Amino acid sequence: MLIANPRAARTLYPAELRAILSIDKARQSRQWLSHWREIAPVATPLHDLPDLAEALQIARFSVKDESARSPLGSFKALGAPAALVRQILRLHPDIDPQGVLAGRYADRLKNYTVVSATDGNHGRGLAAAARDAGCYCVIVLHANVSQEREKAIAAYGAQIVRIAGNYDESVQEAARLASAHGWQVVSDTSYEGYEDIPRDVMQGYGTIAAEIVEQTAVQPDTAGAYTHVMLQGGVGGMAAGLISYLWEHQGVNRPRFIVVEPVQADCLMQSAIQGRPARATGSVDSVMAGLACGETSPLAWRFLDTSVDHFATIEDNEAIDAMRVLARGSEQDIPIVAGESGVAGLAALRRLRGDASLSAQAGLDAQSRVLIINTEGATAPSVFRQLAGTSADEILQRQQQFSRKNHVR
């Protein structure tokens, strides 16, 4: 399903949004995390896949590969850790933010507790950052988070609280625990009266956009390398973090933005239809665990409301097919470890290019240059192996062979 956003406009980045998310602040977050041991010291790869571009009958197809961002396996390593540093700085304005994740203030933070709900990746990022900062971390998991994801979070020393309900109920439980025990919620989704930390999380994601701008040498206020950028949505934070940066940088010449969600967790599409942050209409549960969110983040929605041109939904089996396509690679396309939630952009693009009328609606044609963000690698390795039909290690080996053969650095 594809809808055009009736409120999409092509304007300069509004001053009231710049006061919330800005390139300047994104630069700061990037700097603070640049020496953290859980973040790769170099930009994540921006792969061009010419064979896939040809198959999709477009001029260029690129993948910004966030599976290489961090041993944590996803772009979420940029969000919670940046927000934790900012929060600690609010409490202790005298500290050096660069020293927080190096553990320099562990003594002062040992009685500080942070808590969050997660469907996996955000919690892992928060747990790792809390461990390195020296504070205590509690993670609330809903019924559908796998044991494998739970173990990965617990490995960073976080205390796990399991609830019987869904993701939205785990968000409420984290808020309840925080107010009962005096803990600090570090959530990637906003709600009434709680916006500062989710803003800081989204600001952390700006690093991805900053690298794209550098890797494609886009000058300010000009059309960049891409005509279309496909962004997957859970609560909308990742899309908002990237869109805000590219919108501020490129202004009216920004690319077309298409937001993609699982059909069962379509809260962002529903928000576009209703003209305000809305709930999903489906069961919410999806193989795309990171996108299985039933409620839009109201703060993220402020950025998406007039900037997203189209909203698309995809089926779980389309995501699985897309995982296999990227895992396989080809003569000219490097194989990529792309997880269930990472491939949503490609899954939607394949659907749109397979239908002339949908392509026309989305303005996709043989001249289009399309970017997707592979937001995760094999964050749940056994699920990945089962769905992709091969292991992440095997793909990485083929990736190395490809790079040697093609002299890719």
Residues 178, 184: contact at Cβ < 8 Å? yes
Residue 220's Cβ-count burial label (10 Å; 0-12, 13-18, 19+) is exposed
Strands (E) in 96-151, as ranges, are: 113-118, 136-141
Please tell me the total number of residues recorded for the chain in this structure.
409
> Catalytic: which of 65, 119, 132, 309?
119
- Pick one of 375, 377, 384, 399: the residue that binds ligand PLP (CB under 6 A): 375
Residue closer to ligand PLP, measured from CB, 65 or 119: 119
Q: Which is nearest to 377 in space by CA: 24, 50, 66, 37?
A: 66
Phi-psi category of residue 297: left, alpha or beta, with phi > 0 → left and psi -120 to 50 → alpha: beta
| Tokens linked to 138 | 């509690």
Distance separating alpha carbons of residues 7 and 302, to the nearest angstrom: 12
The residues with which 113 forms a beta bridge, in sequence order, are 136
Under the binding rule (CB under 6 A), the answer on residue 318 touching ligand PLP is no
Residues 294, 280: contact at Cβ < 8 Å? yes
The least distance separating ligand PLP from the CB of residue 109, rounded to whole angstroms, comes to: 25
Q: Which is nearest to 146 in space by CA: 292, 276, 326, 295?
A: 292
Residue closer to ligand PLP, measured from CB, 224 or 262: 262
Q: Which stretch binds ligand PLP (CB under 6 A): 162-170, 229-237, 351-359, 394-402?
A: 229-237
- Pick one of 188, 248, 305, 318: the residue that binds ligand PLP (CB under 6 A): 188
> Is 76 part of the annotated catalytic residue set?
yes
The least distance separating ligand PLP from the CB of residue 220, rounded to whole angstroms, comes to: 26
Tell me which residues in 239-268 interact with ligand PLP (CB under 6 A).
239
- Pick one of 119, 200, 305, 318: the residue that binds ligand PLP (CB under 6 A): 119
The least distance separating ligand PLP from the CB of residue 261, rounded to whole angstroms, comes to: 9
What is the x/- site pattern for ligand PLP, positions 124-143, by CB under 6 A?
--------------------
- Pick one of 311, 325, 376, 395: the residue that binds ligand PLP (CB under 6 A): 376
Q: Which stretch binds ligand PLP (CB under 6 A): 30-38, 140-148, 232-240, 327-335?
A: 232-240
- Pick one of 341, 359, 368, 399: the residue that binds ligand PLP (CB under 6 A): 341
Residue closer to ligand PLP, measured from CB, 120 or 335: 120
Under the binding rule (CB under 6 A), the answer on residue 345 touching ligand PLP is no
Q: At residue 62, what is the residue type? A: S
Residues 82, 197: contact at Cβ < 8 Å? no
Q: Which stretch binds ligand PLP (CB under 6 A): 105-113, 234-242, 306-314, 356-364?
A: 234-242
Distance separating alpha carbons of residues 307 and 247, to the nearest angstrom: 8
Strands (E) in 211-285, as ranges, are: 228-232, 256-262
Distances (CA, A) of 129 to 25, 93, 181: 19, 19, 21
Under the binding rule (CB under 6 A), the answer on residue 76 touching ligand PLP is yes
Under the binding rule (CB under 6 A), the answer on residue 116 touching ligand PLP is no
- Pick one of 234, 262, 335, 377: the residue that binds ligand PLP (CB under 6 A): 234
Q: Which stretch binds ligand PLP (CB under 6 A): 31-39, 88-96, 117-125, 323-331?
A: 117-125
Q: How many helices (H) and strands (E) does the chain have?
A: 18, 11
- Pick one of 25, 64, 122, 199: the residue that binds ligand PLP (CB under 6 A): 122
Q: Which is nearest to 146 in space by CA: 374, 382, 390?
A: 382
Q: Using alpha carbons only, give the angle 231, 236, 240 rounded to the nearest 5 degrees.
A: 70
> Is 110 part of the annotated catalytic residue set?
no
Catalytic residue IDs: 76, 119
- Write out the residues near ligand PLP by the rule CB under 6 A: 74, 76, 119, 121-122, 188, 232-239, 290-291, 293, 341-342, 375-376
